[in-house]
């Protein structure tokens, strides 16, 4: 019985060890694609943060000008960028602290929904302070964010469009 079992399984094991040329070709393609992916450009944390900083400034001018549609757009852009940081910048310790920004960002979102400028200003000030708290917590205290004093771009209207 022992010999019959060996004779029965030997062809199966032998067949499993054979490499199919198509499988080899596919593995070479996979390896090539992995190398291309490893060599492709990936945004760093700094690039994401510069984008967030721009949206932060644009958010301020949209909110204080009662342009709630633009403010909502900018706050969603910040959310999206932060989500991307969490998704794509997993190897940096700073990413672990990023969640602290979501509560103040939600407060800004609420002020936008209520279309309340006073609440917006208070929430935005808290958001800005939390950005700086995060920078301190991640040993980037030298990077201080402030409430903007002039629009970040001169080619955009921040007042709502009258229809």
Per-residue tens of pLDDT for the chain, all 163 residues: 555 555 555 555 555 555 688 888 888 888 888 887 777 778 889 999 999 999 999 999 999 999 999 999 999 999 999 999 999 999 999 999 999 999 999 999 999 999 999 999 999 999 999 999 999 999 999 999 999 999 999 999 999 987 6
Of 57, 78, 75, 80, give the one whose Cα is nearest residue 158: 57
Same-domain status, 87 and 67? yes
Number of structural domains in the chain: 2
In a domain, 34, yes or no: yes
Show Cβ contacts of residue 90 under 8 Å, excluding neighbours closer than 6 positions. Answer: none
In a domain, 146, yes or no: no
- The span from the CA of 82 to the CA of 21, in Å, is 45
pLDDT of residue 43: 83
Same-domain status, 101 and 31? no
pTM: 0.77
pLDDT of residue 23: 85
In a domain, 102, yes or no: yes
Q: Give the domain range for residue 81.
A: 45-137
Same-domain status, 17 and 81? no
Tokens 């004779």 label which residue?
Answer: 7
Same-domain status, 33 and 49? no
Show Cβ contacts of residue 162 under 8 Å, excluding neighbours closer than 6 positions. Answer: none
The dihedral over CA atoms of 132, 148, 63, 51, expressed in degrees to the nearest 10, equals -70
């Amino acid at each position: 019985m022992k010999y019959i079992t060996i004779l029965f399984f030997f062809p199966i094991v032998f067949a499993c060890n054979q490499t199919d040329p198509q499988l080899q070709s596919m593995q070479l393609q996979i390896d090539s694609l992995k190398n291309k992916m490893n060599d492709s450009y990936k945004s760093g944390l700094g690039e994401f943060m510069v984008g967030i900083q721009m949206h932060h400034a644009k958010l301020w001018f949209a909110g204080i000008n009662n342009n709630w549609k633009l403010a909502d757009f900018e706050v969603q852009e910040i959310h999206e960028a932060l989500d991307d940081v969490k998704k794509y910048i997993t190897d940096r310790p700073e990413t672990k602290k990023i969640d602290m920004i979501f509560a103040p960002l939600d407060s800004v979102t609420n002020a936008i929904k209520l279309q309340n400028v006073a609440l917006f200003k208070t929430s935005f000030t808290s958001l800005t302070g939390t950005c700086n708290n995060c920078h301190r917590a991640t040993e980037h205290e030298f990077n201080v964010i402030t409430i903007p004093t002039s629009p970040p771009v001169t080619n955009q209207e921040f007042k709502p469009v009258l229809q």
